[in-house]
Every structure is written in C-alpha cells, then in structure tokens.
Structure 1
Amino acid sequence: MIVTVVAGNPKPQSRTLEAAHHVAESLTGQAATSEVDVVTLGPSLLGWGDDTVKAAVETVAGSDLVIVASPTYKATYTGVLKCFLDQFAGATGLAGVTVVPLMLGAGPAHALAPEVHLKPVLVELGATCPTQGLYLNEKAYAEPDAYAGWLGQWKDIVLASASAT
C-alpha cells in the first residue's frame, strides 16, 4: 500500500507533520511511503507548471492512502495547504485515493473543522473520505491516547477503503 502524508503547516517539520506520520503508521503498521511538507515547495505553489510541485501532486494522486493534515487557522485549514490543493485537476485530481483529513487545534471549539472545512475540498477533488475527520488538540497530539478512540472506530474502514480504491 502506498501511503503519503501531506502537511499544510506554514512551519516546516511541524507538529502537524509529526501527527500525520503517527496516524499513517498507526493505521498501516509501517512508516509512510512518502511525505509532502507543503511549505517546502515555497513560492512555486503560487504559479502553475513547476516540476517540483507537479511531482508532489503526482505522488499524492498515485497513493492508495493519504493523510492530509493542517493546523487550524481562523477555524479552517491553512492557505499554504489550499495553494497545494489548488494544483490538483478538478473533480478527478484525487480520484481513487482514500484520504483522512486531520487537523490540530488549540481547543475543542474547532473540533468540527476537519469535517466541515477540510473534508469538503478533498471530496471536491475526487478523494474518498470514508470516515470522520480527525481533530487533535495541539498540546496532546503526541500522547498515544489522543488517537486511540478515532483509530478504534475507523481504522478498519480506512484500510478497507484504501485497499479497494
């Protein structure tokens, strides 16, 4: 299974990226096959046709399972993540890819952000999001128990979807 983590944090090597890797490994039992730390693509995200950005898009689109992660900014995902997602072709850019929306935030007030804001744009791009998005408190994301309930409820469904697509 090809598993990719995508982190849309304005800070490279962020807690968001770390959390995405943890989810990928917890779901599959192995490290992600590849990683896209979106901010490292730099100003190339603002235009079209950059080879590095194209390669990142192709990596994600060619994956079986993708964890798309963002910190919560103004109750939604980051602009840098949106710039990356805009590089995908219409309603088919993520067709055949199972995607888990993951967001980190400061408190429970934004717990629906992955479901209400991130998941719809992923589905618009053709992704299969078979479960609820995962929201983690940014102060507790490193604690194994932070993931336990979500994994217990959704792991089998995510893996079945990724194997089927």
Structure 2
Amino acid sequence: MNENKENDPIRLVVINAGVSDPSSSRLLADRIAQKSVDRLAEADRTASVSIIELGPLATDIAKAMVAGFANEALSAALEKVAGADAVIVSSPVYKAGLSGLFKSFVDVMDNDLLVARPMILAATAGSARHAMVLDDQMRPLFAYMRALPVPTSIFAAPEDWGVPDLGRRIDRAATELAAFVTAGVGRAISEKAWGSYQHQFGSSAARTEQGNEGVDFDTDLMRLATGGRA
C-alpha cells in the first residue's frame, strides 16, 4: 500500500482500455474522475488525476505476457497503479466480455498490487444487453485481486449518454469513492492485515528486463525452488 499522508493530495489513477478516438470509455472515465475530484474537494481533500491509456501499451502488454517481465513503459504504468490511492477503471465490452487488452493488463499485474485499493468500475458498450458484464466479470476479477470496488458500478450504452440517470450514477459512485478514501479504509485494512497476504514478490513493475530485483527469495516457496529448506 502506498504511503500517502492525510494532508497529501489524493492520487487518482484512471485505467482506460478504450482504443477508439474519441473513446467512449475514456469519456466516461473522465466524467467519473472529475466528479470524484469534486466530491473529494467537498471533503477538503485535493486530488491529482493520472491517466493510463492501454492502447499505446498493447504491444508491451503482449510481450510481458509472453516473456514474463515488463519493459520500461509498462513498468512505469504499473508503478503508477501501485502508487495510487484510488483507481478508476473503464473498459469497452466486446462480444459480451471485457476488452482483452484490459484483462491482459490486469493479468500482468502482481496479485498484490491492488490489495485494499478503493476503485470505481466502469464499462461501455453498444447495447444495454451487456450491462451485467460489470457485475458478472469485472467485479469478480477485482475481488480476486482483493481490491475494494465501491458498491455502484457504472455502465453506459449509447442511449445513456443523454439522460440524467448516468450523471446520478456517476455522482453516487464518486461519493462512495470519496468516503472510502477519506476514511482511510484501504490503509487501515492493509496496515492491520498485510501480513496475511501473499506478497512473495514485489509489484510486476519491479521485474524488468534488467532482472528480478523485485523478487523476495526469503519465502518457503522460493527457498524450496532454489534448493534450500522451507
């Protein structure tokens, strides 16, 4: 977990898997991020927003999945996620499922990178028939990562953009995120229970082309793998 102090600006990181220009996923993420900044400001907390565009990292992500390590560009993106106080993820839906690019980015993350991290989950699609992808696929994915998605997820089909209900859902999710962050929920969980998490390895960003500097060899598993005794 990052070391953000109470009076430091809140670091919001947006992960956008949209690849079109303009991207509806990015437009949705921008609205969510701005409303989150507004709700944090009402709680007397300033916030900075960083955007990770997955489109330009597609080749780097594919190489990392095959080679087992992240190059400099992908490492920088993963480090940005690792340093976030809260994360907003936004993915298009293709063929009744999450973007493969989005899922691949999560696949190259260390399993512990998002532990106890407050998140807003968002998705866009060409039809309202895909609305359940958020709760059927994205929420279980981040439950596995032991993140803290807020109760309200945000789905937008083409017909949603011009109606007030989308704005109300964005406002509700942003309010929930601000409550999680200002209450220090994630920090309290990680500080009191971190010892029970795996964290055999550092973040995936630490395992680069230069070597395995982020690997912790002082675990039962690694001692066995290197010929020592557990």
TM-score normalised per structure 2: 0.64
Deviation at 1:79? 0.5
* Deviations, residues 7-29 of structure 1 (Å, cap 9, x unaligned): 11233652211210111101222
1:6 is the counterpart of 2:15: yes
Deviation at 1:108? 1.9
The answer (yes or no) to whether the contact 1:5–1:34 under 8 Å persists in 2 is: yes
Q: The residue matched to 1:70 in structure 2 has which SS?
A: strand
Q: Match for 2:169 among 136, 143, 150?
A: 150
- Give the 5 Å matches for 1:114-129: 114-129=134-149
* Deviations, residues 56-95 of structure 1 (Å, cap 9, x unaligned): 01111211121100111111210111111112111x1111
The answer (yes or no) to whether the contact 2:124–2:157 under 8 Å persists in 1 is: yes
The answer (yes or no) to whether the contact 1:5–1:32 under 8 Å persists in 2 is: no
CA–CA distance in 1 between the matches of 2:22 and 2:104?
Answer: 18
Partner residue, 1:54:
75
Structure 2 unaligned regions, length at least 5: 1-9, 42-46, 187-230
- Mean Cα deviation higher: 154-163 or 65-74: 154-163
Alpha carbons of 1:8 and 1:108: their partners in 2 closer, same or farther (altered >3 Å)? same
CA–CA distance in 2 between the matches of 1:13 and 1:83?
Answer: 22
CA–CA distance in 1 between the matches of 2:29 and 2:48?
Answer: 9
Q: For residue 108 of structure 2, what is the amino acid of its counterpart?
A: Q
CA–CA distance in 1 between the matches of 2:82 and 2:163?
Answer: 29
The answer (yes or no) to whether the contact 1:131–1:157 under 8 Å persists in 2 is: yes
| Percent identity (aligned) | 20
Partner residue, 1:81:
102
Partner residue, 2:53:
37
| Higher Rg of the two aligned structures | 2
CA–CA distance in 1 between the matches of 2:57 and 2:174?
Answer: 30
Q: The residue matched to 1:69 in structure 2 has which SS?
A: strand
TM-score normalised per structure 1: 0.87
* Residues matched between the structures, number: 163
Q: The residue matched to 2:104 in structure 1 has which SS?
A: helix
CA–CA distance in 1 between the matches of 2:55 and 2:120?
Answer: 20
Alpha carbons of 1:59 and 1:13: their partners in 2 closer, same or farther (altered >3 Å)? farther
Superposed CA RMSD in Å reads: 2.1
CA–CA distance in 2 between the matches of 1:150 and 1:116?
Answer: 19
Q: The residue matched to 2:148 in structure 1 has which SS?
A: coil
